[in-house]
Amino acid sequence: MTSLPENPSERRLGLVIDLDTCVGCHACVVSCKEWNTGGYPAPLSDLNPYGAGQTGAWLNRVHSYEIGAGETGWGEAGRTVHFPRSCLHCENAACVTVCPTGASYKREEDGIVLVDEALCIGCGLCAWACPYGARELDPVGGVMKKCTLCIDRIYNENIAESERQPACVRACPATARHFGDLADPQSDVAQLVAARGGVDLMPEMGYEPTNKYLPPRALSAPPDAPAARGAAPADRRDEMSADGFWAWLDRVLDDAD
Amino acid sequence: MKPAASVILFTVLSGAGYGILAVIALAALIGDLPGETAVAVWSLLVALGLVTVGLLSSTFHLGHPERAWRALSQWRSSWLSREGCASLATYLPAGLFGIGWVLLDRTDGVYAFLAVLTGSAAMTTVYCTGMIYGSLVTIPQWRQPLVVPLYLAFALATGSLICSTLFAMLGAWIPWLAWLSALSLLGTWALKRAYWHAIDSAQTGSTTATAIGLGAAGLGAIGLVRPLDPPHSEENFIMKEMGFRVARKHGRKLRRLALHLGGTLPILLVVGAIASPAALASTILLALALPPALLGVFVERWLFFAEATHKVMLYYGRQTA
């Protein structure tokens, strides 16, 4: 049914992603791909995986950006921000209302937005409606696929309770991804959002995303200031070599004083 | 946005077909519809043929065309579903009206009412088509208020030109229909020029900074947000579907081509047909106007897709969208 739920429950399950902590390792990308290929739903397609011309569907991607560089920013050097992008399970999800067949729907009990692959005709209108690029057409299946918030893990009684979280949250080595009920002010995720000032992406679109992003913390000193790097270049009289292993060893031994 | 041939074919051909039905309805309403059987058969065949070919072609871009019938179920929320329902609903009054016009030689009374129903259903379908694009907030060039009126205008313009030509070829020269063709072409392309001017000067509020959540982060002057490492080494569905861009200089050339091929030339030929005293000359001039008019609309529709930008490209290197 592609009208938004008439009687949504209080629960709003979603993710909180910490842009300050994300190191851009893509572990969440790969674990999502693996779970959605080897787990319960129809596998994400992966064509020509070892050569040029790879195609397939992915539900989660990590972009990397440089901010604050140059004259309009903080000066010469900028900061790197790694940005994981996946479905935000919006409250006012246009991808749900535009669907002509009822394949795209938002669950009443927890607000997760899903695609019923038996009904989807692969028209792609939901992808057009999503500003975050959350939906991809699977070239093999001919249906639209998106983040399921690992609905086949979070309620799954067959796996250990610690595993009943989305695969991306479990895989993140930097603890940059968090899962929980954003509507419950006592939950860890809600408290994180309140403490760090979690934001919506593109709020001007009016989709009211459930997932929140924690912005990078302001730095105490600008990047690459001499005070942050240890010895000033003029002191490096005893350096062993200008490059490679020896330069590294030189730096390590300097820092070990 | 990647222009999909199947969708372009659908909107142009079906639009023209629905336009013909609307013009036939208008003619029946004012009591000036030719009664000859050949005229009735051919004009309904062409109109419904264009509509049907267009609808079928639109299913080619689906991942699962065999389930296309399911697209009729969500008319409560989806403009695409409403368009499907309206398109099928048009066949019924059109068929019943056709029975009256072709077999019973009657276009008055209840048949005039059926004509009005047909015309209304036809224009409702085109309205729904326009709203599919007009309701998407992710694509500012489609959210523009002139988009829906332009779909209706192009349907009327192409429909009246085809209808006028067809009637003339079958021996029924109708002056007001030729005038309608010329004036609707003029009005439509003037509106299109206004639309192009509007989208060229429009500002939108989204930047890469708001797209990644840094719009109000309190980090101070973050300046430009530039992509550093790509998220993937190959193009994915998002880039292929939403990343299509026609170069601005090509866009300018194609706009001029569409305008003169689809507008200037056919208008001149139709005015020539109206001015010409000989029926044969008028018919030939109308027939000559048809191919460039349709070609111009195909180019215009291609540009409608190719010049549209999607917000998601803010993540892939566009600074504003």
Each residue of B99-123: pLDDT tens digit?
999 999 988 889 999 999 999 999 9
CATH number of B5-316: 1.20.1630.10
How many Å apart are CA B182 and CA B177, to the nearest integer? 9
For A97, A214, B161, the CA distances from B81, given in Å and listed in that order, are 10, 38, 29
What are the residues facing A79 on neighbouring strands? Answer: A67
Q: Complex ipTM, two decimals?
A: 0.93
For residue A21, count CB atoms less than 10 angstroms from its CB and return exposed for 0-12, middle for 13-18, buried for 19 or more.
Answer: middle
What pLDDT is attached to residue A195?
Answer: 96
Tell me: pLDDT of B150 over 90.
yes
Q: B192 is written with which tokens? A: 């299109």
B206–chain A nearest CA distance, Å? 7
- Higher-scoring residue by pLDDT: A54, B271: B271
Any idea which of A99-103, A231-235, B11-15, B44-48 has the lowest mean pLDDT?
A: A231-235
A25 & A118 share domain: yes
In the predicted model, what is the mean pLDDT of residues B23-49? Answer: 94
Q: Which domain holds residue A19?
A: 13-214
* Contact call for residues A35 and A135 (beta carbons, < 8 A): no
Q: Which of residues 62-91 of B touch A (CB under 8 A)?
A: 62-65, 67-68, 70-74, 76-81, 84
Tell me: pLDDT of B69 over 60.
yes
Closest CA to B181 of B286, B41, B299, B43: B286
What pLDDT is attached to residue B216?
Answer: 60
A128 & A236 share domain: no
Tell me: pLDDT of B76 over 80.
yes
Which runs of consecutive H residues, i.e. helices, occur in B67-109? 79-98
Residue B125's pLDDT band, with cuts at 50, 70 and 90, is very high
What pLDDT is attached to residue A229?
Answer: 45
The partner residue sitting opposite A70, judged by closest CB among B216, B224, B229, is B224
In the predicted model, what is the mean pLDDT of residues B209-222? Answer: 72
B6-43 burial, b at 16+ Cβ within 10 Å, e below that, comes to: ebbbbbbbbbbbbbbbbbbbbbbbeeebbeeeebbebb
How many Å apart are CA A23 and CA A201, to the nearest integer? 20
Judge: A3–B77 Cβ closer than 8 Å, yes or no: yes
* Contact call for residues A117 and A103 (beta carbons, < 8 A): yes
The partner residue sitting opposite B234, judged by closest CB among A54, A65, A94, is A54
What pLDDT is attached to residue A192?
Answer: 96
What pLDDT is attached to residue A20?
Answer: 94
Any idea which of A165-169, B218-222, B271-275, B290-294 has the lowest mean pLDDT?
A: B218-222
A251 & A208 share domain: no
A151 & A248 share domain: no
What pLDDT is attached to residue B261?
Answer: 97
A50 phi, psi to nearest 5 deg = -110, 5
Judge: A199–B217 Cβ closer than 8 Å, yes or no: yes
Please report whether residue A220 resides in a domain. no
Residue A253's pLDDT band, with cuts at 50, 70 and 90, is confident
Judge: A128–B228 Cβ closer than 8 Å, yes or no: no
Residue A236's pLDDT band, with cuts at 50, 70 and 90, is very low
Q: Pairing between strand A61-67 and B225-227?
A: antiparallel
List chain A residues with CB under 8 Å of B209. Answer: 67
**Residue B245 half-sphere exposure toward CB, CA atoms < 13 A:** 12
Tell me: pLDDT of A50 over 50.
yes
Tell me: pLDDT of A121 over 60.
yes
Q: pTM, whole model, 2 decimals?
A: 0.90
A77 & A140 share domain: yes
Any idea which of A222-226, B216-220, B294-298 has the lowest mean pLDDT?
A: A222-226
CATH number of the domain at A201, please.
3.30.70.20
| Residue type at position B239 | M
What are the residues facing A75 on neighbouring strands? Answer: A69, A70
In the predicted model, what is the mean pLDDT of residues A67-81? Answer: 71
Q: Which of B59, B203, B225 to mutate to test the interface with A (most CBs of A within 10 A)?
A: B225
The partner residue sitting opposite A64, judged by closest CB among B76, B206, B229, is B229
In the predicted model, what is the mean pLDDT of residues A136-145? Answer: 94
Q: Which of A98, A208, A212 to mutate to test the interface with B (most CBs of B within 10 A)?
A: A98
The three-state (H, E, C) secondary structure of chain A, written as one string: CCCCCCCCCCCCEEEEEECCCCCCCCHHHHHHHHHHHHCCCCCCCEECCCCCCCEECCCCEEEEEEECEECCCCECCCEEEEEEECCCCCCCCHHHHCCCCCCEEECCCCCCEEECCCCCCCCCHHHHHCCCCCCEECCCCCCEECCCCCHHHHCCCCCCHHHCCCHHHHHCCCCCEEEEECCCCCCHHHHHHHHHCCECCCHHHCCCCCCEEECCCCCCCCCCCHHHCCCCHHHHHHCCCCCHHHHHHHHHHHHCC
Any idea which of A19-28, A37-46, A193-202 has the lowest mean pLDDT?
A: A37-46
The partner residue sitting opposite A65, judged by closest CB among B72, B228, B311, is B228
Tell me: pLDDT of B128 over 80.
yes
What one-character DSSP code corresponds to residue B227?
E
As a whole number, the mean pLDDT across chain B is 93
A61 & A140 share domain: yes
Judge: A68–B223 Cβ closer than 8 Å, yes or no: yes
B238 — contact with chain A (CB < 8 Å)?
yes
3-state helix, strand, coil in chain B (%, to 5): 75, 0, 25
B287 — contact with chain A (CB < 8 Å)?
no
What pLDDT is attached to residue B166?
Answer: 96
- In degrees, to the nearest 5, what angle opens at C-alpha B129 toward C-alphas A89 and B287? 155
Judge: A132–B312 Cβ closer than 8 Å, yes or no: yes
In the predicted model, what is the mean pLDDT of residues A143-148? Answer: 96
Residue A108's pLDDT band, with cuts at 50, 70 and 90, is very high
Judge: A218–B218 Cβ closer than 8 Å, yes or no: yes
A72 & A148 share domain: yes
How many Å apart are CA A167 and CA A30, to the nearest integer? 9
Residue B209's pLDDT band, with cuts at 50, 70 and 90, is confident
Residue A228's pLDDT band, with cuts at 50, 70 and 90, is very low
* Contact call for residues B8 and B298 (beta carbons, < 8 A): yes
Residue A1's pLDDT band, with cuts at 50, 70 and 90, is low
Q: Which of A44, A105, A144, A201 to mutate to test the interface with B (most CBs of B within 10 A)?
A: A201
* Contact call for residues A179 and A167 (beta carbons, < 8 A): no
Q: Which residue of B has its CA nearest to A48?
A: B234
Any idea which of A70-74, B158-162, B300-304, B313-317 has the lowest mean pLDDT?
A: A70-74
Share of chain A above pLDDT 70, in %: 85
Closest CA to A121 of B133, B240, B58: B58
Judge: B80–A100 Cβ closer than 8 Å, yes or no: yes
Q: A28 is written with which tokens? A: 């969440």
B317 — contact with chain A (CB < 8 Å)?
no
In the predicted model, what is the mean pLDDT of residues A40-69? Answer: 88
In the predicted model, what is the mean pLDDT of residues B156-174? Answer: 96
Please report whether residue A6 resides in a domain. no
What pLDDT is attached to residue B249?
Answer: 85
Tell me: pLDDT of A240 over 80.
no
What is the number of residues in chain B? 321
Please report whether residue A8 resides in a domain. no
In the predicted model, what is the mean pLDDT of residues B59-81? Answer: 94
Residue A233's pLDDT band, with cuts at 50, 70 and 90, is very low
Please report whether residue A5 resides in a domain. no
In the predicted model, what is the mean pLDDT of residues A225-241? Answer: 46
- Higher-scoring residue by pLDDT: B319, A169: A169
How many Å apart are CA B150 and CA A169, to the nearest integer? 47
Tell me: pLDDT of A222 over 60.
no
Q: B65 is written with which tokens? A: 């065309």
Any idea which of A232-241, B131-140, B187-196, B228-237 has the lowest mean pLDDT?
A: A232-241
In the predicted model, what is the mean pLDDT of residues B238-261? Answer: 92
Structurally, chain A folds into a number of domains equal to 2
Query: Any idea where the domains of chain B sit in the sequence?
Result: 5-316
Number of neighbours of residue A16 by Cβ within 10 angstroms = 25
Tell me: pLDDT of B37 over 80.
yes
What pLDDT is attached to residue A40?
Answer: 67
A210 & A235 share domain: no
List chain B residues with CB under 8 Å of A80. Answer: 228
Please report whether residue A73 resides in a domain. yes
Judge: B77–A53 Cβ closer than 8 Å, yes or no: no
As a whole number, the mean pLDDT across chain A is 87
What one-character DSSP code corresponds to residue B68?
G
DSSP letter string, B125-182: HHHHHHHHHHT-TT-HHHHSTTHHHHHHHHHHHHHHHHHHHHHHHTT---HHHHHHHH
Judge: B223–A73 Cβ closer than 8 Å, yes or no: yes
Q: Which residue of B has its CA nearest to A212?
A: B213
pLDDT in tens, B5-20: 999 999 999 999 999 9
Residue B246's pLDDT band, with cuts at 50, 70 and 90, is confident
CB neighbour list of residue A38: distance below 8 Å, 6 or more residues apart: none
List chain B residues with CB under 8 Å of A69. Answer: 223-224, 226
What distance, in Å, lies between the first and last C-alpha atoms of chain A? 67
What pLDDT is attached to residue A235?
Answer: 46
Torsion of CA A50, A54, A57, A62, to 10 degrees: 80
How many Å apart are CA B26 and CA B50, to the nearest integer? 19
Q: How far is CA B274 from the centre of its chain?
A: 26
